Amino acid sequence: MVARGLLTSSSRKVVDSHAIPRLLFQTSELPAETVPDLMTAQLGFFERRLFSDVQCKQFLDTSFAKDPRVAARFDALPGAHRADLWRYAVLLRHGGAYLDVKTVGVSSLADIFPEHHDKPTLYTVLSSNHGVRWVHNG
């Protein structure tokens, strides 16, 4: 993990570890008005929050003001790695779910991410592109 050791326990907001906040985070280099929302029908009670690169940097500057190394690391990373650092940070801070903006949903997010769990849960996403299958962990 790129940011290992940067996001300390003192950076975390205390949340109920058994509840998944109804937030869907996404990021794109493109302006928000040009990014299609491919998850509209599946959102249900989830609130979609789309961040640009500038907004990602602002989030890190504000949320991790006590440790400027986090935002400095963001500036030093290439595109996809920048998105990874922001994704880990925003989920650490707020909880919720993250999906790439290219993700097309086939099920309701409420069905995939029930509101409460008895223990922490790891989700795996299966995808297929022209017959090639991939496994993504999240």
Is residue 62 assigned to a domain?
A: yes
Strand locations in the chain (E): 23-27, 47-51, 97-98, 124-129, 132-137
Is position 4 within any domain? no
Query: What does the pLDDT look like over 77-116, one tens digit per residue?
Result: 988 899 999 999 999 899 888 888 888 777 788 777 777 6
Terminal Cα distance for the chain, rounded: 13
Residue 99 lies in a domain: yes
List 27's β-bridge partners, or say none. 51
In a domain? residue 109: yes
pLDDT, one tens digit per residue, over 31-79 is: 777 787 777 777 888 899 999 999 999 999 999 999 999 999 999 998 8
Residue 2 forms part of a structural domain: no
Domain count, the chain: 1
